[in-house]
Structure 1
Amino acid sequence: MFGKGSKLYSILFLKCPRCHEGEFLEAHPYKLSNFNKVKQHCPKCNLKYSIEPSFYYGSMYVSYGVGVAVAIAVFVLTLIFGLDLSILEVFGSIVVVLVLAMPWIAAVSKSIWANFFFSYDKEIAEKVK
């Protein structure tokens, strides 16, 4: 389920959607000088990551969904742990978590978006190992 060949592996580990070997981003998501810059091509299988100009603008919709999921998770965790927080404190904790997770959310959203359009190819993956 989480191994190579699954979309989840490519998304969570920010790997090439086709070969699951090459890196998807230029640098770590929290390196702010290259903030979530996607590579032009996969360094292993040479897949062109952008189908068209402005291809990753669609990932903003995915980013919204991931952000909402993170906010709901924070709210549910405050309920599970029985924290007696006011509405403003819960809201503040959600905002803090979203701000801190913003680079990761943006990177994962771009990876999810790319995985909508590119599929894992076992033959190519075996060639590039």
Structure 2
Amino acid sequence: MSCRLPAEELHAFDALCTQLGAKSRSDGVRSVVRMASGFLEFSREDSARLEEIRYELGKIGTNVNQIALAANRGRAPMVKAQWASVDELRRSLPMVAKALSQIIAERRRQGVALFRKFAEAQEGVRHG
């Protein structure tokens, strides 16, 4: 497949390829087509952000558990409202992490289903 673009559009596409982390223009075209088709495609920047979020959620959970442990041992006295906040965090953080993982997994499943449907349609075109 080939495509001719004016210089201005080619420069814009090259900038997009850089932003997406594409190693070549072919990789860039594949990423754009996948994104337009609903496949899960994260730029390097978005992937890094998701990893940061997962990492930070883990750190926050560890800190909340340390606060609760210190309070249980009497080293950090807390009032009832503070205990309620800590308990809410201990319940909520795992649910947030799980929801994030489920969103990513669902987008991947949708992408795989779209790809299979596309591949089956292409196979039918070849044989039909």
- Higher relative CO (CA 8 A, sep ≥ 6), structure 1 or 2? 1
| Structure (1 or 2) with the larger CA radius of gyration | 2
Q: TM-score, normalised by structure 2?
A: 0.29
| Higher fraction of helix | 2
Q: TM-score, normalised by structure 1?
A: 0.28
